[in-house]
Structure 1
Amino acid sequence: METDKPQRTTDGPGTERAAKETEAAAPAANHLPEISVVVLGWRWPGKSLTANTIMGREEFHLERAAEFCVKRQTEVQGRQVTVVDTPGWFSTQDTPPSYKEELVRGASLTPPGPHAFLLVIPVGMFTEVDRARIEEHVSLFGENVWKHTIVVFTWAEVLKKISIERYIRREGKDLQWVLEKCKRRYFVINNCIYGEHPQVGRLMERVEKMVAEEGGYYKPKEGGQEKKTLDENKNPAGELHNLGARPKQNSGLSLSKAMQVDSLSNQPDTPDY
């Protein structure tokens, strides 16, 4: 007679523990020793604050970020993180061509290219004009940029009991368009906390996950698409009035020239302007 033997099953505490260990090992497998991010967004509502939150201290100042890219480095949970803050764009006014060229130059400051673009969007009424402004400026980097973009929502505290998912649904097709472009990758951050910020580590994990899914660094498409886009968006000289801090002479650099210079120098930090 065949004796009864205990049957092995796929259920039980052992399997559950193994599943948890596998889940915990996944972030470690994607862990990058170095991460570089470029922060994009409007001029005022939270772009440079988000860059400071990642740094854990105030490194980026609004008056400097108004015209030039600024690069700083920090360490986040064992990773060397490079953050590039870029000139913000205006809500309704046209952005000067020199500002746009400086914006695009930000992608060349972390050769061979940034891992991620963090598109900062403040929580509030999101309109068709907002969508158009995002499309106008993000397109300067080429269509490939969306594969490396994460939307970062700021000022979510104003939602109180409303979830970010409900907010996204409520704002309708324009915000949905932005999120669909970056495969609905988004993150909510509280910029009222400096120092050891638990959200910063989770944001870096989100970047690592995106890199694992999309692969490597952002690379601009060949053929000078960025330069073409800049030429198409040039403004008449007369449109530079009433823009706050005025662009300085020769502050705009072409993307190809900037990438050559920065690739050769490969300095750990950009010079102060």
Structure 2
Amino acid sequence: MASNRQPQTEAGNAPEPDDETRKSTTVARQRLPEFRLVMLGWRWPGKSLTGNTIIGREEFRLERAAEFCVKRQAEVEGRQVTVVDTPGWFSAQDTPLSYKQEIVRGASLCPPGPHAFLLVIPVGMFTEVDRARIEEHVSLFGERVWRHTIVVFSWAEVLRTISIERYIRREGKELQWVVEKCKRRYFVINNSIFEEHPQVERLLESVEKLVAEEGSFYNPEEVEKENKPLDDVQNTTRDVRELGARPKQGSGLGLSNGVAVEAISSE
């Protein structure tokens, strides 16, 4: 007579994990010996400041708009971390071709390729123009870049008691489109908390999870084959208006000093 007993583990008590549990365990155990990160975003969204938060010291200058990529390295949580800060794109005018070429070059500065792109979006008003600008510049790296991108919400201290999920819903389909393109991988960072803080460790854990799910890293050489030369790509005409790099006026969101914002990521 066939036995209906489920397979036992070495402990002899619990059944073997199912496929979903096994996958979760694999993701949880993935540990990278190093991290290679590329920062993306328009000017003044807290992009360079986020890089400083990750590195743990002021390495990326904030007083002027950078025209070139800046690469910095540091040991974080016992592992080597490379962060490449790319030029921020313009909020209310077309981005010069030279800036676009320099943004794309950022992926080649951390060979053999970045583990993740961190798309920094400030908490505040998000418009259709914002979405279009993000799509225009992130897509310079090819369609596959979205699989290696994590949205990092900066200026998170203005949220106070509002959850990031509520904020995403409130901002509507434009912001939701960006989050969905990144497979709902997002992280909330508080750049007013510097040096040692568990939020950086949790961000690196999110990168490890991404690598475990997508496999390996973004390969710049593969994407060069599928992309058109940048000088063949023309900027589209758009309305010249201010983008959402500040909290909504009259939104009821106020600054909250000393509030540690937890890193939140949808599963």
TM-score by length of 1: 0.74
Task: Return the index of the structure with the highest Cα Rg.
Answer: 1
C-alpha distance in 2 between matches for 1:75 and 1:65: 26
Shift of residue 224 of structure 1? 3.7
What is the aligned partner in structure 2 of residue 103 from structure 1?
103
What is the aligned partner in structure 1 of residue 3 from structure 2?
none
CA gap 1:35/1:65 in 2 versus in 1, 3 angstroms: farther
C-alpha distance in 1 between matches for 2:234 and 2:94: 9
C-alpha distance in 2 between matches for 1:65 and 1:215: 34
Shift of residue 65 of structure 1? 5.5
What is the aligned partner in structure 1 of residue 229 from structure 2?
228
Instruction: Give the partner amino acid of 2:111.
Output: P
Instruction: Give the partner amino acid of 2:57.
Output: R
Deviations along 1:216-235, one digit per CA (max 9) or x if unpaired, are 11024456444534521369
What is the aligned partner in structure 1 of residue 210 from structure 2?
210
Runs of 4+ with >2 A deviation: 22-29, 62-65, 220-231
C-alpha distance in 1 between matches for 2:229 and 2:24: 45
Deviations along 1:190-218, one digit per CA (max 9) or x if unpaired, are 00111102101100000000000000110
What is the aligned partner in structure 1 of residue 192 from structure 2?
192
Deviations along 1:219-256, one digit per CA (max 9) or x if unpaired, are 24456444534521369xxxxxxxxxxxxxxxxxxxxx
What is the aligned partner in structure 2 of residue 49 from structure 1?
49
Instruction: Give the partner amino acid of 1:123.
Output: V
- Contact 1:65–1:85, Cα closer than 8 Å, also in 2: no
> Which is richer in helix?
1
TM-score by length of 2: 0.76
C-alpha distance in 2 between matches for 1:97 and 1:204: 32
Which residues of structure 2 form unaligned runs of 5+?
1-7, 237-267
What is the alpha-carbon root mean square deviation over aligned residues? 2.5
C-alpha distance in 1 between matches for 2:66 and 2:43: 7
CA gap 1:97/1:24 in 2 versus in 1, 3 angstroms: closer
1:93 aligns with 2:93: yes
Deviations along 1:95-133, one digit per CA (max 9) or x if unpaired, are 110010000000000111000000000001110000000
SS at match of 2:74: strand
C-alpha distance in 1 between matches for 2:69 and 2:80: 19
C-alpha distance in 2 between matches for 1:64 and 1:112: 30
Shift of residue 26 of structure 1? 5.6
SS at match of 2:121: strand
What is the aligned partner in structure 2 of residue 172 from structure 1?
172
Q: Which moved more, 1:134-143 or 1:64-73?
A: 64-73
Identity percentage of aligned residues: 74
C-alpha distance in 2 between matches for 1:24 and 1:138: 29
- Contact 1:52–1:60, Cα closer than 8 Å, also in 2: yes
- Contact 1:96–1:234, Cα closer than 8 Å, also in 2: no
Shift of residue 156 of structure 1? 1.4
C-alpha distance in 1 between matches for 2:77 and 2:63: 30
Shift of residue 27 of structure 1? 6.5
1:36 aligns with 2:36: yes
